[in-house]
Structure 1
Amino acid sequence: MDDLPVYERTLSVPQLLEQLPSEISSLVRSASGNQYLHALALGALNTTLTESVFRNYEPVVVDLAARWLRSDISTDYIHVLSAFARVLPFAPYLRPFASQYALSPTGPQSALTDSKELTIRQLDTNSTRNLLLTLFRLLSFDLETFSKAVSPIQLQSLFPHQDRVVRYLAVRCFALYMHAADAATENMLRVNTGTDPIEGEWEEITIDYRLLGLWEERRWASLESSIRNTRASRSDTDAMKLIDDTRDFFTSRSADICGVLIPRLKDAHPSPSSVVETPTATANLRRIATSLLGFKPILLVGLPNAGKTTLIDHIAAKMGQSESMVTLHLNEQTDAKSLLGMYATSSASGSFSWQPGVLTKAAREGRWLLIEDLDRAPSEVLGLILPIIERGELTIASRRERIKCAEGFKIIATMKSSYNIAGEEIAPTTSMLGNRLWQRVPVTSLPVEEMRDVILQKFSLLESRVPTIMDVYGRICAAFHGSLAIKGSQGRTPGFRDLIKLCSRLNHRLQRIGAKTGYEPTPEGVDDEILLDIVDVFLKYIPDKSMQMSLASVVSEALQISPPKSTILP
């Protein structure tokens, strides 16, 4: 196997442990928790084993990469950059970590961006080769981000280097940095390296570096195939076991969303959330979290009251984004100019000054942007968002300004699905401007059994009343779904949000009368007050009084209240 290139060595976990240094291998075999993850992170920095560690431990690779950023990782910075460069094409969600490490003004590699001191010439030939190959891979992956990681003067200083491989790699990196055309690149290579073969070591085999591009493509294709096979063979149970065994030891830069790890841009402690992670809610959260690992804007599609906004708020709290997240409620009257910004008079001088809008601020500061009911947005606003989701930039034509969206900027939108005449859920129209650019994520509504579990966990005082509450809710929903007149008269049907609102009221009502368990006898009149709460939450917005009365009788029957009391409407 040692005769194969590094990328073709598909190592199983036992084979991988045999290849690791003995000290690290023993820790991976016997340690647990923080020591286990730390040993894996160190092992992954071995350039011959990075891809194998990634394949076998991908569920926790976000936390391993987060550990590479820490100062207690005692290793050469070239090894850290090389590890990022090797896995980024297959884990692009690690780009925030990689760019932060490569561009840190105080990091050990910061001297490479200094054009005054030619630090790169102080490295030995082998280290210079490794660094340049790493830079070549980073620039090939994302030129705009990683071009800031090195000065072109540093690269030019290597053109007369004694090693032809170093000269070749320096020219290729310089050409990428300068956006040089193919003809210009070939001319620079001919001048600096000649026309003879450039043989050197690459992935532990000897190649002609003039064919580096073809070798890199072969490496990508081989790794992509082996990683895809490993993912297909890894069961959800195995992945969750790895997460569960190490969950309590993840760093503050790793956000755990129901077993899916997402990189945090900065150290943050999750804010408290009121979401109860039932099986359906967990499945919804995992789908959303998986989509967050990509770069496409996310479109959540689900029935009204399915919890789309609540789920995003929950994830934002976990990610430390809840305080900075911007929420837009769009409609036909939304003015695109107010989202971009406008000129306003200054209170101090009286002159006009530019005041950026919420969209401009969010893009510039790397905030999350939540757009409610995207299907209600006018075409002018969708046209404004289109360049952002296509090219990652915001254009302000009136100022001739182009704003590159900062790292961390993410657009998340919601859209309501509906029922057809047969009672089946149907997705909204796909004729929306830029529809193909969105990552659609279906959000499943909670079944009745899970609604009951949520109420029991959030409102313990209602335990004795949950069967009655669910019976009332079921009858009201059945009445709405069974009557086109009711649905047509007010445009919305009751949902889980209304049920939680009702339970919150009832819980507070029981607290006010001093209930401790919810099983105590209640004073006379409490049942009437409960009826009024139900009517106020579910029926008050129905404009037709006779329909209110009809549904109130349904409620009174479920509450076992005599019919005359059902006429007590607020």
Structure 2
Amino acid sequence: MGEAEREKWETATLGELYTVDCTLGYGDALDGSHLTIDGWLMPITELERVRSARNAIAIESQDFYCSDTEIVQEQIQLSDLCPLVVNLHGVLLVRSSVTENISSPLIPTPTAVKALRSLALHLTTRLPVLVTSAPSSGKTLLLSHLAETLFPHVQNQLVFIHLADTSLDPRSLLGSHVSSRTQPGTFEWKEGILVRAMREGKWVVFKDIDRGSNEVLALIKPLIESLGLDKWIGGRASLEVVGRGEVVAADTFAIFATRSALPSRNGTFATPTFYGAHKLHEVVVASPTTEELTLIVQSRYPRLSSQATSGLIRLWQAVRELGTTVSARDVGLRELEKFCVRAEQLISSYPADGSSTSDEDLPLYSIFPNTSLREEIFLAARDVFFGSGVTASARAHTGLIAHTVGSQLGLEQERQEWLLSRWMPDFDVETDRDGRRTALRVGRTRLLAKPMKREITSSTPRPFAVHRPAILLMSRIVNAIALNEPVLLTGETGTGKTSVITHLAHILHQPLISLNLSNQTESSDLIGGFRPLDARVPALSLQSKFLDLFGETFSRRRNERFEADVRKSVAQGKWKRAVGLWRESVKLAKDRIMKKQSSDLELQENGVK
């Protein structure tokens, strides 16, 4: 029974609050005497009893079974549980299907275990949860691990809705009428992503809910309220859709929201103030401690020794203590991960360095005595921590970070300035015997060019000056491509941002698609959508490609009449005629290729004889 229903029942049964005495039996004492309690104090007494019992479960050792006749305490083993029951750090939950192994990148640190346990307890009561933590602290990873544990064979159990997008239309969450595919000229109702997730029993995650518009928050507030504490036990979420009636969610539906905020000096977070925040039950995910960071880095990057891991974490902490500026990005756990990836690759090239087994905390210049390795680690730190600086304050801040990193690595000020102002990586375009480009090597990074089935004569590329700033920029872009990292190029108009990408795509034979984004850009421009289409637009594109291939395969002088017939059919919009001529030319081209291959084979056989 929910809280609101309980209050109604008490009023109907006992009368108005505190108007009459109500003595209730409250069990028996140890001596056999009967205990009584005032009925009006019953809710407070029960609340305190339940709270004490739950605190005892969370604080005391998690021994689920203990024999009274034996001193030895026995815990429930996995073999004692039903295959559909999972023990999530002391909280028993039911999963959708049986599975043997669960592959998750989550490392069970004490902070992660505490957060998972809190999320699991809120999930058992079907409460809407607000997950608060510092940026890049693993909120999405925790939810993904929980969903993978309870729904091991379900695809896309988590549905993410990014509320930071101010252009998000609230109607797209509920649904709208769209043109019918089966009955032209009519409209049919298409459910939005939120309603569809409710019916399918998905977990909806409202990311950055504190940055959402009030219009969207007002829309989802009734849904959150339906999962409040006053609901019936087992009650499901519901939402009223105008014109469509009430939508009741499936049994496995759950609501999560995330909020990223910077903690204060004592580690606490500010109280959320967005619209409807008091309806959510907040779970704070603390930032990992230094010991937990060491465990995470050593688990994810086993090539790094314990001394190297501690030194890299100390360097990251020193950079983080410098703070940030308005135009600079905060240094968080994501930057530590990028830095460790680069450091692990560099250390693998110097197997004699970074293998110290001493228990003392040595400085990085003692862990890595090779000066060349420390220089490359310094350049890797530049790419991650202080590779950008647009304003004057940001450039001053990046200079301070560079000095801190150089001091941690034991590099002199002159060597730091040389690395930042005069050092230039090697730049080499590898080719095969026929002069075709096969790979690009910039510094230690090597990218393979896309293999071409046949050499197509392309237009002459635009001139590109390969000077030091261009090589440095290409080096950083190539490193990011090799590590599958997205790149954001920032600069004034005409500084060569698009040109350097175009030049790299030309060298590597990669297709390049350029999109000019603006405030008028719609999602359908990126992912596609239904819109009126003139058949002449794709037909002209096919015609252009056909004429190029036709001229390379057949003689234009001998087939001048055929080519004119094709042009006439396309110009007059006779698509059946044009398609028929295209197919006929393809058939003739196949016959010619087969004859050429047969003649080449006969020549080879005669040559062997």
What TM-score do you get using the length of structure 1 for normalisation? 0.55
Report what 1:444 is aligned to: 286
Distance 1:549 1:231, change over 3 A: closer
Q: Distance in 1 between the 2:147 and 2:50 partners?
A: 30
8 Å CA contact 2:319–2:401 kept in 1: the answer is: yes
Q: Distance in 2 between the 1:547 and 1:230 partners?
A: 52
2:179 is aligned, of 342, 345, 370, to 345
Report what 2:336 is aligned to: 499
Q: Distance in 2 between the 1:459 and 1:468 partners?
A: 14
8 Å CA contact 2:64–2:75 kept in 1: the answer is: yes
* Amino acid aligned to 1:557: S
Cα RMSD, aligned residues only: 3.7
Write out aligned runs for 1:112-261 (5 A): 231=54, 236-240=59-63, 242=65, 245-261=76-92
8 Å CA contact 2:144–2:158 kept in 1: the answer is: no
8 Å CA contact 2:224–2:279 kept in 1: the answer is: yes
Write out aligned runs for 1:19-58 (5 A): none
Report what 1:356 is aligned to: 191
8 Å CA contact 1:338–1:357 kept in 2: the answer is: yes
- Whether 1:386 aligns to 2:227 is no
Q: CA-to-partner distance for each residue in 1:239-283, whole Å, 9 max, x for gaps?
A: 246595413543332232222222224445563111211222222
Distance 1:455 1:233, change over 3 A: closer
2:395 is aligned, of 525, 533, 545, to 545
- Whether 1:535 aligns to 2:382 is yes
Report what 1:328 is aligned to: 161
Q: Distance in 2 between the 1:541 and 1:333 partners?
A: 29
Write out aligned runs for 1:358-377 (5 A): 358-377=193-212
What secondary structure does 1:488 align onto?
coil
8 Å CA contact 2:350–2:373 kept in 1: the answer is: no
Q: Distance in 2 between the 1:459 and 1:273 partners?
A: 16
Alpha-carbon offset, residue 369 of structure 1: 0.9
8 Å CA contact 2:353–2:370 kept in 1: the answer is: no
Report what 2:408 is aligned to: 558
What secondary structure does 1:527 align onto?
helix
* Amino acid aligned to 1:437: K
* Amino acid aligned to 2:381: I
What secondary structure does 1:499 align onto?
helix
Q: Distance in 2 between the 1:234 and 1:259 partners?
A: 9
Q: Distance in 2 between the 1:271 and 1:323 partners?
A: 15
Alpha-carbon offset, residue 411 of structure 1: 0.8
* Amino acid aligned to 2:206: I
8 Å CA contact 2:163–2:209 kept in 1: the answer is: yes
Write out aligned runs for 1:393-412 (5 A): 393-397=238-242, 399-412=243-256
Distance 1:409 1:517, change over 3 A: farther
More helix by share: 1
Distance 1:560 1:219, change over 3 A: closer
2:142 is aligned, of 305, 308, 311, to 311
Alpha-carbon offset, residue 526 of structure 1: 3.6
Q: Distance in 1 between the 2:220 and 2:386 partners?
A: 38
1:519 is aligned, of 355, 358, 361, to 355
* Amino acid aligned to 1:431: T
Q: Distance in 1 between the 2:292 and 2:41 partners?
A: 49
Q: Distance in 2 between the 1:517 and 1:348 partners?
A: 67
Q: Distance in 1 between the 2:350 and 2:55 partners?
A: 56
What secondary structure does 2:62 align onto?
helix
What secondary structure does 1:446 align onto?
coil
- Whether 1:262 aligns to 2:85 is no
What secondary structure does 1:255 align onto?
strand
Report what 1:473 is aligned to: 316
Report what 1:115 is aligned to: none
Distance 1:427 1:236, change over 3 A: closer
Q: Distance in 2 between the 1:264 and 1:517 partners?
A: 47
Alpha-carbon offset, residue 318 of structure 1: 1.5
2:304 is aligned, of 462, 471, 480, to 462
Distance 1:524 1:550, change over 3 A: closer
Q: Distance in 2 between the 1:224 and 1:306 partners?
A: 34
Alpha-carbon offset, residue 384 of structure 1: 1.4
Q: Distance in 1 between the 2:52 and 2:269 partners?
A: 33
Alpha-carbon offset, residue 489 of structure 1: 2.9
Q: Percent identity?
A: 25
Higher relative contact order (CA 8 A, sep 6+): 1
* Amino acid aligned to 2:160: T
Alpha-carbon offset, residue 479 of structure 1: 1.0
Distance 1:322 1:219, change over 3 A: farther
Distance 1:389 1:280, change over 3 A: same
* Structure 2 unaligned blocks of 5 or more: 7-11, 13-39, 66-73, 227-236, 357-367, 421-471, 473-609
Alpha-carbon offset, residue 306 of structure 1: 2.6
Q: Distance in 1 between the 2:123 and 2:377 partners?
A: 42
8 Å CA contact 1:270–1:318 kept in 2: the answer is: no
Distance 1:222 1:438, change over 3 A: closer
8 Å CA contact 1:301–1:417 kept in 2: the answer is: yes
* Amino acid aligned to 1:535: R
Alpha-carbon offset, residue 226 of structure 1: 7.0
Distance 1:519 1:238, change over 3 A: closer
8 Å CA contact 1:313–1:322 kept in 2: the answer is: no
What secondary structure does 1:304 align onto?
coil
8 Å CA contact 2:95–2:149 kept in 1: the answer is: no
Q: Distance in 2 between the 1:326 and 1:281 partners?
A: 22
Alpha-carbon offset, residue 510 of structure 1: 4.1
Alpha-carbon offset, residue 353 of structure 1: 2.8
Q: Distance in 1 between the 2:244 and 2:138 partners?
A: 40
Alpha-carbon offset, residue 405 of structure 1: 1.0
Q: CA-to-partner distance for each residue in 1:362-402, whole Å, 9 max, x for gaps?
A: 111000111111100111111111121122212221x3332
Q: Distance in 2 between the 1:348 and 1:526 partners?
A: 65
8 Å CA contact 1:299–1:438 kept in 2: the answer is: yes
Report what 1:153 is aligned to: none
- Whether 1:488 aligns to 2:326 is yes
* Structure 1 unaligned blocks of 5 or more: 1-88, 93-139, 142-181, 183-216, 481-485
2:111 is aligned, of 272, 275, 280, to 280
Report what 2:274 is aligned to: 432
Q: Distance in 2 between the 1:427 and 1:373 partners?
A: 15
* Amino acid aligned to 2:327: S
Alpha-carbon offset, residue 566 of structure 1: 2.8
8 Å CA contact 1:375–1:415 kept in 2: the answer is: yes
* Amino acid aligned to 1:465: A
8 Å CA contact 1:252–1:269 kept in 2: the answer is: no
Report what 1:124 is aligned to: none
What TM-score do you get using the length of structure 2 for normalisation? 0.51
Q: Distance in 1 between the 2:223 and 2:156 partners?
A: 22
